Amino acid sequence: MTRSQRKLDHIKLSMETGRHSQNGLEDITFVHQSLPGTKLKDINLNTKIGGLSLSSPIFINAMTGGGGEKTLEINRNLAIAARETDLAMAVGSQMAAIRDWQEEKTFKVVREENPKGIIFANLGSELSPEQACKAVAMIEADALQIHLNVIQELAMPEGDRDFSGSVQRIAEAVKAVDVPVIVKETGFGMGLETVNALLETGIAAVDIGGFGGTNFASIENFRRNRPLPFLEEWGIPTAASIAEANHAAGNKVTVMASGGIHNSLDIAKSIALGAGAAGLAGQCLRILLDRGTEALIEELEILKTELAVIMTALGAANIKDLHKTPLIISGRTHHWLNQRGIDTKQFSTR
């Protein structure tokens, strides 16, 4: 199977497998405020990720490129949507274009369509410093995402089996590029141990890419003769992962949320748990493929408006205020966090 065919399979199978299970955000409840003191028109959605200023905390997460014409068109349309809504956007792994220059155009189209936008480059943690620089230069990226995808590789018949040396390679990539580096998961979440190990690399942010959205174990199981069903239940749900990452990160690196984030309430809850931004991948692709670019632009605009409505109700005039709003954490997420030594009272009594 060629890398380019695999990219097309991932698009098709991610739409068929869909959202896999709950991501834990259903365990989070806001505390209603009857005297919020806010005005909808004054709500400020600006946020900062590793020194980058974003006009909104919502971003389109890494998906594609590297699979010929079809992935070029998807990236073109995602870039148009990002431009029209002024949202940051990541491209999918650029390794295909580093190995085969003919695939470069499937990524470059994103910068062509959105010359002034905030765009994230993307490579896996097998990257070399030279490849990191090449990926950033290819799309004049504003940041580099380095993805971690151990479970996907193990589930993939032709995947990697050697996961040594990643922390060292990430640290070398950070030194090589002149943009902030974001280390991201791909739907299995990051816990305290992972974030602690990454703190020494000099990265600017982690995107926890939690469990409960697109599930690459399910996707790869479709492509295996003998599936590995236990991997489909593997991972740290998004809600618990945001809190774990934030606990480890303190104010040393920014935490970004993703993994099954589908609506404005998910976004607001992710930010209240400590994320500086929230990314959507599968949901954007689904709207784009089912209903087109105009519909995606409309849905993203609605997300921004609804987020501002939620912030108004909570009395949170900006993202910093939303980080401080009280939250009730119940169910499995409550149990998980307390088992991991994270006191949930810090959220409910602040």
Cα-Cα-Cα-Cα dihedral sign, residues 67, 171, 116, 301: positive
Out of 93, 114, 131, 201, point to the residue binding ligand FMN (CB under 6 A): 93
Examine residue 213 and tell whether it contacts ligand FMN (CB under 6 A).
Answer: yes
Examine residue 248 and tell whether it contacts ligand FMN (CB under 6 A).
Answer: no
Examine residue 63 and tell whether it contacts ligand FMN (CB under 6 A).
Answer: yes
Out of 261, 316, 319, 337, point to the residue binding ligand FMN (CB under 6 A): 261
Least CB distance to ligand FMN at residue 22 (A): 12
Least CB distance to ligand FMN at residue 4 (A): 13
Out of 17, 22, 38, 64, point to the residue binding ligand FMN (CB under 6 A): 64
Which range in 62-70, 130-138, 310-318, 322-330 contacts ligand FMN by CB under 6 A? Answer: 62-70
Which range in 101-109, 206-214, 245-253, 339-347 contacts ligand FMN by CB under 6 A? Answer: 206-214
Which range in 30-38, 110-118, 229-237, 282-290 contacts ligand FMN by CB under 6 A? Answer: 282-290
Least CB distance to ligand FMN at residue 186 (A): 4
Write out the E strands in 116-231: 119-124, 143-148, 181-185, 205-207
Examine residue 269 and tell whether it contacts ligand FMN (CB under 6 A).
Answer: no
Out of 68, 180, 187, 235, point to the residue binding ligand FMN (CB under 6 A): 187
Q: Which residues bind ligand FMN (CB under 6 A)?
A: 10-11, 14, 61-64, 92-93, 122, 145, 147, 184, 186-187, 209, 213-214, 258-261, 280-283, 285
